[in-house]
Amino acid sequence: MDALVKVRDFITNLDEQKFYLYTSIFLGIITLIFGFMMYRTMSGISQLEEQIESINEYRVRAQEIIVRFADVKKQRTKVNQILTQDKRFKITNYFSTLIDDLGLRQHLQGEPKLVEQDLDRQYKEVRITPTLQHINMRQLAQLLQEIEESERVYVKKLDITKAQTRPPSIDVKINIATLRIL
């Protein structure tokens, strides 16, 4: 209580010019303190907004990964169903039947070599690389359409070159593959 009385007495004993000077200094200090507090608050808010944006980006990425994972699980289930339906499926027999049905046997250069490769702990990829010479684009399109319509096999790589001996025809080297459950 004594301190307040001393401050009141000090203020009442001041002349007008000193009163305005001290009041201006006091208000300036209060304004500086208030301004500094506002700056710190706004700085903290902007940092929090940046963190929120970053977290939202991570959240969106995580959501995309979760959706993609669900799609992969569905696809894996579908692939497993297809692979377990016919465990004795042979890609060489499939291809042989396919080229016979399409009338491409005479265009086949040798017998395609069978290559197996482990993909992961669950699947093995079995592929053949036949070479067909002197075929036309219609025959190639029919071959690719038949392969595409089969759920069991897929085209991994396709090389088309212009035939050297018969100009309107093409030579095709194609990687056809299937999966097998280990």
Residue 47 pLDDT exceeds 80: yes
What is the predicted pLDDT for the residue at 123?
87
Domain locations in the chain as residue ranges: 2-82, 91-181
Three-class DSSP labels, 148-167 = HHCCCEEEEEEEEEECCCCC
Measured from the Cβ of residue 72, the count of other Cβ atoms closer than 10 Å reads 10
pLDDT given at position 29: 94
Give the pLDDT mean for 114-135. Answer: 90
CATH 3.30.70.60 fits 91-181, yes or no: yes
| Percent of the chain whose pLDDT exceeds 90 | 64
pLDDT higher than threshold 80 for residue 30:
yes
